[in-house]
Amino acid sequence: MFLGWFDDTRKKTPTEKIEEAVERYVAKFGKAPTLCLVNAADVVTYAGLEVRAAPYISPNHFWVGEEEQPAPTPLAA
């Protein structure tokens, strides 16, 4: 599940914007996200969170959440 966050405030850094998005995610879902999808212009290093550029993300948009894990395949008998 992801939470979309938009912030075009010029005085804030991408790190500050991601921090606010993470805080909102934790408040809403009760756990920390593991992934943040951003525009290539907003890629930064953020401790404890993978920040990854995605070509379909517009500048100043931040999608925080968890990458879906594929369901385990049943073992053949």
pLDDT of residue 77: 58
Around 36, how many Cα atoms within 13 Å sit in the side-chain half-sphere?
30
Check: CB of residue 59 under 8 Å from CB of residue 42.
yes
Q: For residue 62, what are the CA distances in angstroms to 25, 57, 68?
A: 11, 8, 17
Q: How many CB atoms lie within 10 A of CB 73?
A: 6
pLDDT in tens, the chain (77 residues): 899 999 999 999 999 999 999 999 999 999 999 999 999 999 999 999 999 999 999 999 999 999 887 767 777 65
Q: What is the pTM assigned to this prediction?
A: 0.86
